[in-house]
Amino acid sequence: MSDAGQGEDVVAVILKDHRTMEELFRRMRSVEADRAAALAKFSALLIAHAEAEEHEVYGALKRFRDIENEEVEHGAEEHAEGNEALLKLMEVEEVGSEEWDERLEELVKAVNHHLDEEERTILNGARENVPDERRAELGAAFLREREKQLAADCGSIENVRRIVQNA
């Protein structure tokens, strides 16, 4: 066991974000919640999370045996699909309208599919094949990039639009 602290394990950090995303989906679906605020939080988290994975984690994991490059590349493709679905939801004028609910379900479907697949393939591969110390280093790098993204207002509609256009 490395002394880098369990909290920094990249797998644990990523899973924690996944659970937060699922909680934000519940809030966005709830008529009693501040759905616009939940969407703003979700947008910032999804973008910061995906950018941090792509910049700091996916490339590093490709270097490990038994972690499929196709799975990592597919993960990046699914980020692009999730970002597109996010942008479509953000562009709906009226929160809670029928169109908003439909676009929300498309977003939930795209993101949940990705979370499920990533957890079964990439993250399990990382658990089995990446040493604790390296996972801790990757966790720290992931969190640094994620914070940088959040500080730069990565979840703004302008930034989401730019990311979708550049994909």
Looking at residue 111, its amino acid is V
Q: Tell me, yes or no, if the pTM score tops 0.85.
A: yes
pLDDT at 66: 67
CA–CA gap between residue 69 and residue 155 (Å, rounded): 28
Going from N- to C-terminal start, the domains of the chain cover 6-166
Residues 6+ apart with CB under 8 A from 52: 142, 143, 145, 146, 149
Q: Is residue 3 over pLDDT 50? A: no
Q: Is the dihedral of CA 74, 105, 50, 125 positive or negative?
A: negative
Q: What is the pLDDT of residues 23-75, one digit of tens each?
A: 999 999 999 999 999 999 999 999 999 999 999 998 888 888 667 788 888 88
CA–CA gap between residue 102 and residue 96 (Å, rounded): 10
- In this prediction, what percent of the chain has a pLDDT beyond 90? 81
3-class state of residue 152 by DSSP: coil
Q: What is the pLDDT of residues 90-140, one digit of tens each?
A: 999 999 999 999 999 999 999 999 999 999 988 998 999 999 999 999 999
pLDDT at 75: 85
Could you tell me the pLDDT band of residue 1, with boundaries at 50, 70 and 90? very low
Looking at residue 80, its amino acid is A
Q: Could you tell me the two tokens for 69?
A: 């490059």
Q: Could you tell me the two tokens for 123?
A: 């993250």
